[in-house]
Amino acid sequence: MVVAEFPEYELLAVKQKWAALAFQAFPRPWRRDECWTPEEAARLEALVAEFTAASERICERCGNDGTLRETRPIELILCDACEPVVGLDGRW
Ligand SMILES: [Zn+2]
């Protein structure tokens, strides 16, 4: 369900982490036969949006202030120090 709602889940490590944190922070587990209330859904949406926005400014490698780098097949948020040391495949 998280993967379906967050297409970038597997691509962006920080977003994956934040999304997981936001999901775990939800007041009660989602069940197939028990839908969230609109208030709960809105709260989760706000949480995820908040974490997603924060992650877009944080270097995925070291956690410092970073910016979106579009020089690789996958997009990464990296700081100026980490940008030159991360390979084209996004691994470090
Ligand atoms: Zn960095």
CA angle at residue 46 from 44 to 49, to 5 degrees? 110
Q: Report the interhelical angle of 38-55 vs 13-24 (nearest 10°).
A: 150
Over the chain (92 residues), what is each successive 10-residue block's mean pLDDT?
A: 50 50 55 72 82 83 91 90 90 76
Q: Alpha helix locations (H) across 1-92?
A: 2-5, 13-24, 38-55
* Ligand 1 geometric centre to CA of 49 (Å): 22
- Each domain of the chain, given as residue ranges in start order, spans 1-56, 58-92
Q: How many angstroms does the Cα of residue 67 sit away from the middle of ligand 1? A: 10
Task: Please state the pTM of the whole predicted model.
Answer: 0.50
How far away, in angstroms, is 4 Cα from ligand 1 center? 29
C-alpha to C-alpha distances, 77 to 18, 29, 44, nearest whole angstrom: 14, 30, 23
